[in-house]
Amino acid sequence: MKIVTIVGARPQFIKAAVVSRAIEEYNRDRRGGCMIEEVIVHTGQHFDENMSDIFFQEMSIPRPRYHLGIGGTSHGAMTGRMLERLEEVILREKPDAVMVYGDTNSTLAGALAAVKLHVPVAHVEAGLRSYNMRMPEEVNRILTDRISRWLFCPTAASVENLKNEGFCIQDGKRLFEHQPVVALVGDVMYDAALFYKKIARPSQEIAELIKKFPDGFYLATIHRAENTDESVRLQSILKALEAIAREIPVVLPLHPRTRQCLMVNHNQLEYVHQIAPVGYFDMITLLSHCRGVFTDSGGIQKEAYFFGKPCVTLREETEWVELVEHGFNILAGADYERILAAESRMRDKRIDTLIDLYGSGNAGRKIVQVLLEGVYEHTAY
């Protein structure tokens, strides 16, 4: 069985690392079952050393066979170029399935290229919705789900979203053979956190930074287009973080897009401690030592929970609604007052991480199992 895995952006490397490891484990111990060959394609959406290479090294992700080098352009141009190049790759590799992750332009381009060649698509992190169509990610995920053969859902809420959109699921099973498979497998990012926290060693820089703040610090990240592209929102978030940082240090690993916006707007941060984007091991270390998290990232909202930290989300809505329902996450948008109020509500709040919200840390293995059961069903060349 051959699977083409398409990745391009930071969170996808982390998610794909989990499934690649599950594939390797399966191949080692397959007891007569068919071998799985995985061909990784890197579209090039994120390409810097600290946004891409470091994840491949730390997480032992197999080297991509193809590197398309497509990034840094508008959504339409990027998706269009990827579509063209991915079609060539799929035609050459003739895989039994194409695997895509999350909600980036690489996800949509990969799914679209595959489905048009009648290659079935497996979507990892299916069914998530923000119900905000202005988010490029929302468009990517809705379209990808619609054309996928396997929809691997991380949460009960994501399964419900698909049901509401007309996917027929009864007791977790499809009603008819021709329907897509919707499988609640848990969150691969939870698998990643559980596995890598056992082996993660921080860089010297991060180890020293943590020592500098013996009374703890907050961790913040900002990168969503809705915040970076609207200077009023960005200014308001930064003003709030600056106010908080006067009392409790705030560490901000700066996404390249945010750094660019700060330069354009001539923003100077006096109190917030900015650092370059860090690798996953450093991120895990920061998450496990911080007092709480301020973020507009999807992945980091959950990681805050995995590491038992309260989270203030700098958005108006979230796909990870279960965290808000349990009071582990507060939506504060980009509003100065709301962010400060959320900080005081969340300060030193205890988080119960024993509630089973994201599966049991074996989502990767479950995905491989489901694919093995059905991958040959609909292969067409």
Shortest Å, Cβ 252 to ligand UDP: 9
Cα(264)–Cα(134) distance, rounded to whole angstroms? 23
Q: Which long-range contacts (CB under 8 A, 24 or more apart) does 207-213 make?
A: 207/285, 209/251, 209/273, 209/275, 210/285, 210/286, 210/289, 213/249, 213/251
Question: Is there binding between residue 44 and ligand UDP (CB under 6 A)?
Answer: no
Closer of 169 and 323 to ligand UDP (Cβ): 323
Shortest Å, Cβ 118 to ligand UDP: 29
Please give the C-alpha separations between residue 334 and each of 294, 295, 316, 322, in angstroms, as whole numbers: 11, 11, 8, 21
Q: Residues binding ligand UDP: what is the number (CB under 6 A)?
A: 16
Residue choice 127, 299, 361, 364 for contact with ligand UDP (CB under 6 A) = 299
- For residues 151 and 167, is the Cβ–Cβ distance under 8 A? yes
Q: Which among 176-184, 243-251, 293-301, 334-342 is the span making contact with ligand UDP, rule CB under 6 A? A: 293-301
Cα(296)–Cα(224) distance, rounded to whole angstroms? 6
Closer of 249 and 277 to ligand UDP (Cβ): 277
Three-state secondary structure call for residue 377: coil
Closer of 89 and 188 to ligand UDP (Cβ): 188
Q: In what order do the strands lie in the sheet with 181-184?
A: 66-67, 37-42, 2-7, 97-101, 121-124, 150-153, 181-184
Residue 170 DSSP symbol = B
Please give the C-alpha separations between residue 121 and each of 1, 116, 205, 288, 315, in angstroms, as whole numbers: 14, 10, 41, 35, 30
Question: Is there binding between residue 303 and ligand UDP (CB under 6 A)?
Answer: yes
Q: Which among 124-132, 225-233, 244-252, 295-303 is the span making contact with ligand UDP, rule CB under 6 A? A: 295-303
Residue choice 300, 312, 321, 339 for contact with ligand UDP (CB under 6 A) = 300
CA neighbor of 376 nearest in space, from 91, 54, 25, 1: 1
Q: Which among 10-18, 227-235, 237-245, 337-345 is the span making contact with ligand UDP, rule CB under 6 A? A: 10-18
Residue choice 10, 21, 123, 291 for contact with ligand UDP (CB under 6 A) = 10
Closer of 120 and 253 to ligand UDP (Cβ): 253
Per-residue binder mask for ligand UDP (CB under 6 A), 241-280, x = binder: ------------x-----------------------xxxx
Question: Is there binding between residue 59 and ligand UDP (CB under 6 A)?
Answer: no
Residue choice 5, 148, 161, 221 for contact with ligand UDP (CB under 6 A) = 221
Q: What does the angle CA 261 – CA 274 – CA 13 come to, to the nearest 5 degrees? A: 80
Closer of 167 and 217 to ligand UDP (Cβ): 217
Please give the C-alpha separations between residue 292 and each of 30, 56, 234, 297, in angstroms, as whole numbers: 42, 27, 20, 14
Shortest Å, Cβ 372 to ligand UDP: 27
Question: Which two three-digit tokens encode residue 116?
Answer: 């048009």
Q: Is 134 left (phi over 0), alpha (psi -120 to 50) or beta?
A: alpha
Question: Which two three-digit tokens encode residue 71?
Answer: 């990034």
Bridge-based pairing of strands 250-253 and 273-275 is parallel
Residue choice 4, 6, 8, 11 for contact with ligand UDP (CB under 6 A) = 11
Sign of the CA dihedral with 53 first, then 358, 154, and 314 last:
negative
Beta bridge partners of 292: 218
Question: Is there binding between residue 154 and ligand UDP (CB under 6 A)?
Answer: no
**DSSP E strand boundaries for 109-185:** 121-124, 150-153, 181-184
Shortest Å, Cβ 208 to ligand UDP: 17
Catalytic residues: 223
Shortest Å, Cβ 142 to ligand UDP: 16
Shortest Å, Cβ 94 to ligand UDP: 30
Closer of 205 and 337 to ligand UDP (Cβ): 205
Shortest Å, Cβ 44 to ligand UDP: 16
Question: Is there binding between residue 206 and ligand UDP (CB under 6 A)?
Answer: no
* Residues that bind ligand UDP in the complex, under the rule CB under 6 A: 10-11, 14, 221, 223, 253, 277-280, 283, 297-300, 303
